[in-house]
């Protein structure tokens, strides 16, 4: 009966998409779903509306209210335009926005529609002349003193996806109350006829090279070791954009820093929303880096780096001590950056005691250990760079930002951008590699030294994919289970601290004492901390049909020679924990 009622509801909803105000292609696609014997696609396309999550609006492209198409993009933009015209009604000048996009299929089309709708609502639009890295849109909003911005991207998602990231006037993604208010204004739109699709050309200005030059010039100011780069300028760097937007600006930034030996992967330099050389264009996954690794073997490269399709994430592969190549995980990327930025600022006499770094709550605790030892304040925040940007905003004029990031291969080294940025991250990582080489060390040597000094840590992220409506229900049920029945021990070690960020409550299980967690909002995240330093975090993804587990285990490492033994023990322990949480 429940399934019959759902089918009736989605059928009624889909039938409205056969009206004349929808284009012929959309009507034909919807009619085909209605006519099909198998109603799965119909249900998946219409059972809900796309909603803003940690990364904005994101979904599979196609017809339907739960799909990315010109109408869902149009509704989001009309709602945002209506809200901007209310929120900035006393601005005293024309409201302005930046509109950018990545290389995905339909991204340029969606970006032009977004620009048209803003312009039709009396809003000034700065539209990029072509695809650009996501962080450059954030930079441009600040540089052009705009009130908002939109970037059409689905980051590292599979080719079937696209997305819509909305930004506010500080160049950061929208948070409360604006995100909730925008959704409210979007939900007020009941008809396609309310969306102003007809562009007003005089309200649209094309931007390009001039902003690129300003962006790259600012990124160059982040360099802390130009003398080292001068000596190690011929460092062999393999870089791949994985068919994405980093193709032009990342190599230019490396050259600006002084690097002269940038090795390309020609097949992956071609912008292509189908990402033909990889199954998934995600530098977090080793297969996406395979062609770059082969190029490194051919050229005896020092380091391999990649950016994802919208060039906000960074992938890193380094030389091991046997002459091969090993990937650097997202947590290691974070502590490499933070360790270097803190240490070099200290060496240059720039640490005053009023500096800070930021990490997300699911990122390794090793970063806090480093910050505490060096006298640098560290802030924890929720997953997503809008929360890192929130910490930056709250500290503006009070303390100096050194850097911040999260375990999912994103880092932000500059406060003049308010989203993760691979252009600056790749440039700085090359500098760090040169800095190590200048001292006769490898990047792996640096990692081992960090473990000896601050303690060994190994992390693993696991995502369980659960598609569609039934998958969403299963994920919700798992979160209820973990919340109501927390484990007493993990891999034999007692759970001593439970953090529930939905309740903003921390419980010390040894004493029963409860304390309030100081966070700017609530989030459906659970964390278990064990007596032996193990940490497990559980949360549903805000942008994908997944429940995510983040596991961290600790060990003692008193010399670099103990690294392999620590790795073996940690790998075995991670396997036990995965099994205990039903991840295998």
Average confidence (pLDDT) over 481-503 = 96
The residue from 96, 155, 408, 424 that is catalytic is 155
Q: Do 403 and 510 belong together in one domain?
A: no
Residue 252 domain-assigned (yes or no): yes
Band of pLDDT at residue 584, cut at 50, 70 and 90: confident
Band of pLDDT at residue 179, cut at 50, 70 and 90: confident
Residue 492 pLDDT: 97
- Our CA angle for 430, 432, 438, nearest 5°, is 105
70-113 residue pLDDT tens: 999 999 999 999 999 999 999 999 999 999 999 999 999 999 99
Q: Do 527 and 477 belong together in one domain?
A: yes
Closest CA to 127 of 308, 82, 118, 69: 118
Q: What is the residue range of 492's domain?
A: 456-580
Residue 467 pLDDT: 84
Last residue of a domain, one of 418, 436, 454: 454
Beta strands, E only, 265-393: 303-307, 314-319, 325-328, 355-360, 377-381
Residue 407 domain-assigned (yes or no): yes
Q: How many domains in the chain?
A: 4
Q: Do 441 and 464 belong together in one domain?
A: no
Radius of gyration over every alpha carbon of the chain, rounded to an integer in angstroms: 24
Average confidence (pLDDT) over 532-543 = 91
Q: For residue 469, give the CATH number of its domain.
A: 3.30.310
Alpha carbon of 396 to those of 95, 341, 420: distances in Å?
A: 24, 19, 18
Closest CA to 218 of 404, 416, 393, 397: 416
Last residue of a domain, one of 430, 454, 478: 454
How many residues would you count in the chain?
A: 584
Q: Do 393 and 409 belong together in one domain?
A: yes
Average confidence (pLDDT) over 256-283 = 97
β-bridge mates for residue 237, sequence order: 262, 303
**Mean pLDDT for the chain?**
95
* Three-state SS letters, 240-266: ECCCCCHHHHHHHHHHHHCCCCEEECH
Between helix 422-438 and helix 209-220 the angle, nearest 10°, is: 40
Residue 49 pLDDT: 86
Q: Do 166 and 187 belong together in one domain?
A: yes
Band of pLDDT at residue 55, cut at 50, 70 and 90: low
User: Is 191 annotated in the active site?
Assistant: no
Residue 514 pLDDT: 97
Q: What are phi and psi of 4, to 5 degrees?
A: -65, -40
**Omega before 177 cis (within 30°)?**
yes
Average confidence (pLDDT) over 169-183 = 91
Q: Is pLDDT above 80 for 57? A: yes
Sole residue written with tokens 């990342």 = 250
| CA-based torsion, 94, 212, 328, 368: positive or negative | negative
388-398 residue pLDDT tens: 999 999 999 99
- Our CA angle for 444, 449, 450, nearest 5°, is 100
- Per the CB < 8 A criterion, the answer to whether 448 and 564 are in contact is no
Distance from C-alpha of 351 to C-alpha of 158, rounded to nearest angstrom: 42
Residue 43 domain-assigned (yes or no): no
Closest CA to 527 of 544, 511, 542, 548: 548
Query: What percentage of the chain carries pLDDT values higher than 90?
Result: 91
Last residue of a domain, one of 410, 436, 454: 454
Q: What is the DSSP string of 195-216?
A: S--S--GGGEEEE-HHHHHHHH
Average confidence (pLDDT) over 410-419 = 97
Q: 514-516 and 526-530 as β-strands: parallel, antiparallel, unpaired?
A: unpaired
Residue 173 domain-assigned (yes or no): yes
- Per the CB < 8 A criterion, the answer to whether 313 and 284 are in contact is yes
Q: Is pLDDT above 80 for 578? A: yes
Closest CA to 215 of 416, 502, 478, 512: 416
Closest CA to 371 of 383, 361, 384, 358: 358
Residue 205 pLDDT: 98
Other Cβ atoms closer than 10 A to 9? 13
β-bridge mates for residue 410, sequence order: 313, 406
Q: Do 53 and 200 belong together in one domain?
A: yes
Q: Do 74 and 96 belong together in one domain?
A: yes
Closest CA to 259 of 224, 239, 232, 238: 232
Q: Do 53 and 123 belong together in one domain?
A: yes
Alpha carbon of 583 to those of 214, 228, 406, 460: distances in Å?
A: 46, 45, 22, 11
Q: For residue 375, give the CATH number of its domain.
A: 3.40.120.10
362-377 residue pLDDT tens: 999 999 999 999 999 9
Q: Do 190 and 231 belong together in one domain?
A: no
Q: Is pLDDT above 70 for 119? A: yes
Tell me the HSE value of 405 on the side-chain side, using a 13 A CA sphere.
32
Q: Do 502 and 541 belong together in one domain?
A: yes
Distance from C-alpha of 179 to C-alpha of 561, rounded to nearest angstrom: 50
| CA-based torsion, 269, 132, 305, 55: positive or negative | negative
Distance from C-alpha of 495 to C-alpha of 500, rounded to nearest angstrom: 14
Q: Do 201 and 225 belong together in one domain?
A: no
Q: Is pLDDT above 60 for 271? A: yes
Between helix 330-347 and helix 443-454 the angle, nearest 10°, is: 80
Q: Do 63 and 168 belong together in one domain?
A: yes
Band of pLDDT at residue 471, cut at 50, 70 and 90: confident
């Amino acid at each position: 009966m429940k399934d019959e009622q759902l089918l009736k509801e989605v059928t009624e909803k889909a039938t409205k998409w056969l009206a004349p105000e929808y284009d012929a292609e959309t009507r034909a696609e919807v009619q085909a779903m209605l006519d099909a014997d198998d109603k799965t696609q119909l249900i998946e396309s219409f059972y809900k509306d796309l909603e803003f999550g940690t990364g904005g609006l994101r979904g599979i492209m196609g017809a339907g209210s739960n799909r990315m198409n010109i109408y869902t993009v149009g509704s989001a933009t009309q709602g945002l335009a209506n809200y901007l015209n209310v929120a900035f009604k006393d601005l005293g000048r024309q409201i302005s926005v930046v509109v950018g996009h990545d290389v995905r299929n339909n991204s340029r089309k969606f970006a032009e529609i977004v620009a048209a709708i803003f312009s039709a609502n009396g809003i000034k639009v700065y539209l990029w002349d072509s695809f650009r890295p996501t962080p450059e849109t954030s930079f441009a909003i600040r540089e052009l003193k705009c009130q908002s911005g939109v970037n059409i991207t689905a980051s590292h998602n599979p080719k079937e996806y696209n997305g819509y990231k909305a930004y506010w006037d500080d160049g950061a993604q929208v948070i409360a109350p604006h995100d909730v208010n925008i959704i409210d204004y979007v939900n007020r739109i009941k008809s396609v006829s309310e969306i102003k699709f007809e562009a007003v050309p005089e309200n649209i200005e094309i931007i390009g090279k001039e902003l690129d030059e300003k962006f790259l010039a600012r990124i160059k100011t982040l360099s802390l070791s130009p003398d080292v780069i001068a000596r190690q300028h011929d460092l062999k760097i393999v870089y791949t954009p994985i068919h994405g937007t980093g193709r032009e600006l990342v190599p230019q930034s490396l050259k600006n820093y002084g690097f002269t030996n940038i090795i390309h992967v020609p097949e992956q330099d071609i912008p292509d929303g189908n990402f033909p050389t990889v199954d998934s264009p995600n530098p977090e996954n080793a297969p996406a880096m395979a062609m770059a690794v082969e190029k490194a073997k051919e050229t005896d490269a020092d380091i391999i780096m990649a950016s994802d399709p919208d060039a906000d994430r960074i992938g890193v592969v380094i030389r091991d001590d046997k002459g091969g190549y090993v990937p650097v995980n997202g947590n290691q990327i974070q502590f490499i950056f933070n360790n270097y930025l803190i240490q070099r600022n200290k060496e240059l006499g720039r640490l005053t005691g009023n500096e800070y770094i930021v990490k997300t709550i699911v990122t390794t605790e090793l970063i806090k250990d480093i910050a505490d030892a060096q006298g640098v304040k560290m802030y924890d925040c929720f997953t997503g760079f809008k929360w890192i940007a929130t910490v930056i905003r709250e500290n503006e004029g009070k303390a100096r930002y050194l850097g911040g990031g999260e375990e999912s291969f994103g880092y932000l080294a500059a406060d003049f951008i308010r989203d993760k940025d691979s252009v600056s991250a790749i440039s700085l990582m090359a500098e760090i590699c040169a800095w190590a080489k200048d001292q006769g060390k490898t990047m792996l040597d640096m990692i081992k030294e960090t473990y000896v000094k601050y303690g060994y840590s190994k992390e693993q992220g696991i995502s369980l994919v659960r598609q569609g409506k039934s998958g969403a229900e299963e994920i919700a049920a798992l979160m209820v289970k973990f919340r109501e029945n927390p484990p007493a021990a993990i891999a034999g070690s007692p759970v001593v601290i439970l953090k529930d960020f939905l309740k903003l409550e921390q419980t010390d299980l040894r004493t029963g004492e409860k304390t309030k967690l100081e966070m700017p909002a609530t989030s459906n995240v659970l964390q278990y901390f064990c007596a032996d330093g193990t940490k497990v975090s559980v949360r549903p993804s805000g942008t994908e049909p997944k429940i995510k587990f983040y596991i961290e285990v600790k060990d003692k490492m008193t010399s670099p020679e103990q690294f392999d033994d620590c790795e073996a023990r940690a790998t075995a322990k991670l396997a036990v924990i995965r099994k205990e949480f039903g991840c295998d």
